[in-house]
């Protein structure tokens, strides 16, 4: 980055170089080091530790390149997020990195960013219904959904973690209940559809039975990914469908915070870990859920290395504001109802008890002490 910018300065000639020097070398002057230019980073909430880790990692990646960072959390309140972004624009941010609360609510403020020629990177969650988003950094969200389903099937002894059928697998039937994320988050659809495309043949042949009959994303949704909301839906599902001495054998959960709500409801209903405890999926490798995997309450989580996502998004923002080529690897999957948003997708990883050490501790994501202490 630095080298490229220096070369372009040389190519542009001494006059331009000296002008750039006089201007104090702001981010888009091509100094290659941020030179104090501000980049605004809008995050949804501190109530989930993944977003705290994301925010810190993006901030560090940008500061390492000499940028100033205006990092804001909106505590899942949409007007707060809108005014935070407004402030960033007013304060002269030269690029925006936005993880939205509700991807459809930022259209007006993003139009203001466009008018001010500020490039916008959607972070993890797609910004919907707007032309005014330039790039998208995320994980392969359909694959996340596939992996959540495979982890459940693996826990039931039906497939390997990559979905390969296990010979002599039990015939079932297994009772399963389904949870989805927040309907205002485009990712929720990718996760749920990705899981259902894997489950459907098992539902069709009777191996999996959704006893409640609640199989649509609208029925399974959890507003704002809230654990307590999930807990009370799980309580209702148990009361309405499992009061006849039948047991739920598996629960599809799209996020660790939701999994913890489900675990709470099961415990309150008298389920105990060990035999007869359901297989539960998750996402984000939050520390409490990694511990829950270790002690057998949760079967799996999907690890998305936020450090990598942060680096990618920071790199995209810097390249975009400097007019450099922004690297993408999927320009056709993520349509936001206005356009296909050029995207960079990272690879998620399934974590079960056996690979906590390799994926989470050896990579430094969590320390041994955090996991086992």
Query: By CB under 6 A, what part of segment 285-304 binds ligand BGC?
Result: 304
**Residues contacting ligand BGC: total by CB under 6 A:** 12
Nearer of residues 183 and 269 to ligand BGC, judged by Cβ:
183
Nearer of residues 225 and 271 to ligand BGC, judged by Cβ:
225
* Distance between CA atoms of residues 211 and 127, nearest Å: 35
Phi, psi of 251 (to 5 degrees): -135, 125
* Distance between CA atoms of residues 131 and 136, nearest Å: 13
* Distance between CA atoms of residues 311 and 327, nearest Å: 12
Residue in 70, 76, 94, 185 binding ligand BGC, rule: CB under 6 A? 185
Query: By CB under 6 A, what part of segment 307-366 binds ligand BGC?
Result: none
Residue in 159, 187, 249, 298 binding ligand BGC, rule: CB under 6 A? 187
Q: Does 123 bind ligand BGC (CB under 6 A)?
A: no
Please, what is the Cα angle at 37 between 50 and 130, to 5 degrees?
Answer: 60
CB of 139 to ligand BGC, least distance (A): 7
Q: Does 284 bind ligand BGC (CB under 6 A)?
A: yes
Nearer of residues 198 and 302 to ligand BGC, judged by Cβ:
302
Q: Does 225 bind ligand BGC (CB under 6 A)?
A: yes
* Distance between CA atoms of residues 184 and 203, nearest Å: 27
Beta-bridge partner residues of 280: 251
Interface segment toward ligand BGC; rule CB under 6 A; list 57-65, 179-187, 202-210, 307-315: 179-187
Interhelix angle 2-12/14-22, nearest 10 degrees? 120
Nearer of residues 48 and 65 to ligand BGC, judged by Cβ:
48
Beta-bridge partner residues of 39: 69, 95
Q: Does 177 bind ligand BGC (CB under 6 A)?
A: no
For residue 176, give every residue at least 6 positions away whose Cβ sits within 8 Å of its Cβ, in sequence order, or none.
152, 199, 208, 209, 210, 248, 249, 250, 251, 252
Q: Does 124 bind ligand BGC (CB under 6 A)?
A: yes
Residue in 73, 136, 150, 255 binding ligand BGC, rule: CB under 6 A? 255
Interface segment toward ligand BGC; rule CB under 6 A; list 24-32, 180-188, 227-235, 268-276: 180-188
Phi, psi of 84 (to 5 degrees): -60, -45
Cis amide linkage into residue 20, ω under 30° from 0? no
Alpha-carbon distances, residue 72 vs 59, 82, 370 (angstroms)? 11, 11, 27
Contact positions toward ligand BGC, by CB under 6 A? 48, 50, 124-125, 181, 185, 187, 225, 255, 283-284, 304
């Amino acid at each position: 980055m630095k080298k490229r910018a220096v070369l372009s300065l040389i190519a542009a000639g001494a006059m331009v170089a000296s002008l750039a020097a006089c201007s104090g070398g702001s981010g888009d002057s091509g100094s290659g080091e941020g030179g104090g230019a501000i980049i605004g980073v809008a995050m949804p909430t501190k109530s989930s530790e993944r977003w705290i880790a994301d925010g810190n990692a993006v901030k560090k990646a940008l500061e390492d390149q000499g940028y100033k960072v205006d990092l804001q959390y909106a505590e899942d309140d949409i007007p707060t997020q809108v005014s935070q972004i407004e402030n960033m624009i007013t304060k002269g941010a030269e690029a925006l990195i936005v993880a939205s609360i509700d991807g459809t609510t930022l259209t007006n403020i993003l139009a203001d960013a466009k008018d001010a020629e500020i490039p916008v990177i959607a972070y993890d969650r797609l910004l919907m219904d707007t032309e005014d988003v330039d790039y998208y950094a995320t994980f392969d969200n359909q694959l996340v959904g596939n992996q959540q389903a495979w982890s459940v099937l693996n826990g039931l002894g039906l497939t390997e973690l990559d979905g390969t059928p296990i010979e002599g697998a039990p015939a079932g039937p297994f009772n399963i209940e389904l949870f989805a994320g927040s309907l205002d988050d485009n990712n929720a659809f990718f996760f749920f559809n990705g899981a259902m495309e894997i489950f459907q043949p098992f539902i069709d042949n009777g191996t999996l039975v959704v006893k409640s009959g609640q199989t649509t994303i609208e029925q399974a949704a959890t507003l704002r990914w809230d654990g307590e909301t999930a807990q009370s839906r799980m309580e209702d599902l148990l009361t309405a469908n499992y009061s006849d001495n039948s047991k739920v054998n598996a629960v599809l959960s799209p996020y660790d915070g939701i999994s913890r709500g489900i675990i709470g409801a099961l415990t309150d209903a008298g389920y105990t870990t060990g035999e007869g405890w359901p297989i539960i999926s998750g996402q984000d490798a939050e520390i409490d859920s990694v511990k829950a995997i270790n002690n057998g309450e949760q079967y799996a989580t999907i690890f998305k290395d936020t450090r990598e996502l942060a680096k990618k998004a920071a790199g995209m923002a810097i390249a975009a504001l400097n007019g450099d080529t922004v690297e993408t690897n999927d320009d056709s999957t993520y349509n936001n109802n206005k356009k296909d948003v050029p995207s960079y997708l990272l690879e998620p990883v399934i974590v079960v008890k056996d690979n906590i050490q390799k994926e989470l501790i050896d990579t430094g994501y969590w320390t041994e002490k955090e996991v086992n202490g």
